A and B are shown apart, each in its own frame.
Chain A
Amino acid sequence: MLFNSFPFLLLFLPIVVAGYAVAQRILGQKAAQGFLLASSFFFYGCARPSYVPILAGSILFNWLIGTWMGKADEQTPANESRRKLILRIGLVGNVGLMCSFKYINFFLQHFAFLNASKFALPNWEFPLGISFFTLTQVMYLVDTYQGLNAPNSLFDHATAVSMFPYIEAGPLVRMRTIIPQLREYKKQVGRSELACRGIYMLSLGLAKKVVLADSFAQVANVGFGSAENFSTLESWIFSLCYTFQIYFDFSGYSDMAVGCAWMLGIDIPQNFNNPYISKSVSEFWQRWHISLSNFITNYLYTPILQSMGKATITTSVIAVMIAMSIAGLWHGPAWTYVIWGTLHGCALGVCQIWKRQKTKMPPWLAWGITFLFVDLSLVFFRSPSVPLALHMLHGMLPHEDLFGTEAIMYIIPMNMHILLRPVALGVLLAFFFKTSQQLAEKFRPSKVTVLATAALILVSFLFMNSTAAKEFVYFAF
């Protein structure tokens, strides 16, 4: 069930939000939490019921590991090594689960030339959201090991991991920020005021996805779905359209996730903060997929750096490159993602060296270089293969067909004029407008916000009824 579908918006969400609120009031918090847990599993099972046992198994496994670690909590050297061993078992289990579904084919196909018959590739589709609920639980295990949170009860752990607003594509949440909110609802803000903000945030995210991202996608898909020779201008248009598509798609999804969680009275972290106004790649990663950035910094980069001994500029650059390559691979089993991650690792390394040199660059130039880099790197992220990515990049270089528009005129879906408005609006919003978070912070229940929210929902409904609901980009990861 997609966030941008009528069954979710008109049935599932209102029933769950109302049911949760009523259950909290009448039956108490435990019963409400039970209702939320059942609803989340139902939501997850709608994608494919056969995924549910995998999610349930992963939750049970991590809960057992966390509880086991909690039992060896006394500060003795023997317990410390035991806890480390338990953590390692937990990490291997999680990475193993993810690899067995996501990466087994990727690795085996590189050995297939040795003996094709012995390397018959299994055709396992990876369960929706496995990358997200696995990382969420990796964070839980590491935090439990470091004593940052106590082991959860199975009930709390299952509810917090499977919560429908973020189970399928994040944001990545820390258990220790969610579980206290389940136990005790924050009293400092009115429940219905938070629900209002949630509806407002949801409407912003929905419009971003169905009006903007899907319009950019219609253009980008033509360019990236073909090996034809495009003019330089067309190649740039396709690449830029994907750059905007992925931003509006994923930030729209994240806004909807935050909005849904607010409707339930739960606060989850924001994921985007105007990334395309960044003036360096390191600033970009502070604004782009923030929850993943935090994970990379705390759970990949820092441990890698620590394992290298003394922190120097060289070890730091190597650590960031390794961490970003892994983050690239996390997105999917393809070299295109590894290259994308490695490119960002290199760029972050350059940023670190540049920062040390204390050389200043004009802000407009810094912004231009950063945006250009992000756009070019996303060509790898979007392309189905490395040769096609190189083909697209080659097309972006000036060549004899500089300003041709034949492909745009003939191949783009013929409702191009319908796409122009949202595409133009999207470019303006990405650079010059407030983020959804900033808008939500200034939200007041008033006639103006009633009209704004209703208008956003109505326009979104119009677009939703015009094309079949499209999956979010990050559902593929």
Chain B
Amino acid sequence: MFTLHSNGVIMKTRTWIAETIGLVAVVTLAVVATNWSIDFYGSFRGAKGLHLAGYGDVRIAKYLLNKRYVPDNFNSLIIGPSISGNWDGRGLERLSTYNDSLVGGNIVELKAIADQALASSQIRVVILMVHPYLTATHDFKTVPLVPRLNNEALGSVNLEEAYKQRIREKLHLDSEEFDAFGVVDFTNAPNKMNPREKLMMTPGTDFTIDPIAMQTYRDFESELHARNVQIIFVIPPFLQSIYAGKPEAFKKYNNMILADKAEQDQVIDFTSDEFTAFRSVAGNFRGVHLTNEAARRVVAVINERVDGWIREGVFTDLRGGALAQNLAGAGPFKADDRMRRRRADSIMARAERRSAQ
């Protein structure tokens, strides 16, 4: 029970209520307006030509970037767990590719992210990993990736962390989580498997299948077919010593996943004999991941195949993305040069006006 104090009142209670509510309202509006105008993830306004890297929670960042930034600038996606995290889409010359892969990602999370981009119908090709990690669990690792999350860009703990990381990066104290193409740098990634990976790759065992995750994988395939998106299934390379521990389990899993493959879908199998030599070089791997150099070689193989399919007329309706055109041949760049773009736009507009006069 409360004790009453009638003395010591410094201000009128109604003033107190008005000031408290007013202060909350003003600060909330200011924060929302500021974040809307900065538009850190390019999710509120057009994002064509912007270069937005990822900061803060990777899942939230990719979810928000896929709303506007990815469909505005890319026409294909790489979707997989961390094994494809460092596959750089710039190596796919005939496509404009964004890497949606997630460290520890499962298909439920990846589908939620990709669905944001697919909603716009700009995405024409999806490079989809065939990897047991995708269907082993169905839980969201950090937060549920649902449409409500789009509000996070207006003010949230993650956004605060993202700003801080961006500032630290400017001061050379930190780096981005992934670059403007969604690519992660695995140079300093741990060179060993985590407990879940160890359990999954135990020799002589079958892969655990989560029924919800498997159903989601099937749903995702159907959704891509329904949207006329070209699927390239990629069975990624595993270190030969890991693969040799359970080849039957890998084959069984791959066959199960590819059972629903449509006629127009393509498959690149890096566990085939063709790539045994590549898999046998331990230096190509860091844990279950590929080194950045090895990833470049894998992307080069995919590029070669895609090029062939396009030449053969298997793939149609591909358009170059804005970002790919802008950054063709560009080296590493710093993220978000919205101000520079605005300045460039105004210079161009002025030039056009002059030439019109």
Contact = CB atoms under 8 A, between A and B. Distances in A.
Given A461-B155, A468-B144, 11 more contacts: A197-B2, A413-B141, A415-B161, A441-B2, A443-B5, A451-B23, A454-B23, A458-B24, A465-B151, A466-B157, A467-B143
Given A189-B4, A407-B195, A466-B152, A195 B13 contact: yes
Contacts of A453: 20
B13 A190 contact: yes
A466 B156 contact: yes
B158 A415 contact: yes
Closest 8 pairs (CB-CB, A-B): A445-B16, A192-B13, A446-B10, A466-B156, A454-B23, A466-B157, A413-B142, A410-B194
Nearest to B151: A465
Interface residues of B, number: 46
Given A413-B141, A415-B142, A468-B146, A463 B9 contact: no
B248 to A, nearest CB: 26
Interface residues of A, number: 47
Interface in A336-365: none
B195 A228 contact: yes
A207 to B, nearest CB: 13
A32 interface: no
A293 interface: no
A94 B57 CA distance: 48
B17 interface: yes
Contacts of B19: 447, 450
Contacts of A73: none
A462 B103 CA distance: 26
Interface of B: 1-6, 8-17, 19-20, 23-24, 27-28, 56-59, 103-104, 141-144, 146, 148, 151-152, 154-158, 160-161, 194-196
A199 B20 contact: yes
9 contacts: A189-B6, A193-B9, A199-B20, A267-B1, A442-B5, A445-B11, A446-B11, A465-B152, A468-B144
Contacts of B28: 458, 461
Mostly, the A contact residues are helix
Nearest to B16: A445
A445 B19 CA distance: 11
A414 interface: yes
A468 B20 CA distance: 25
A415 B59 CA distance: 10
A413 B60 CA distance: 12
B146 A444 contact: no
A79 interface: no
A116 interface: no
Contact of A457 (B24, B59, B142): B24
B10 A444 contact: yes
A270 B1 CA distance: 7
Contacts of B13: 190, 192-193, 195-196, 445
Given A199-B17, A450-B20, A414 B58 contact: yes
B81 to A, nearest CB: 13
B2 A454 contact: no
Nearest to B15: A445
B36 to A, nearest CB: 13
Contact of A406 (B24, B154, B195): B195
Nearest to A407: B195
A451 B160 CA distance: 21
Given A418-B161, A444-B5, A458 B11 contact: no
A227 to B, nearest CB: 12
Nearest to B6: A189
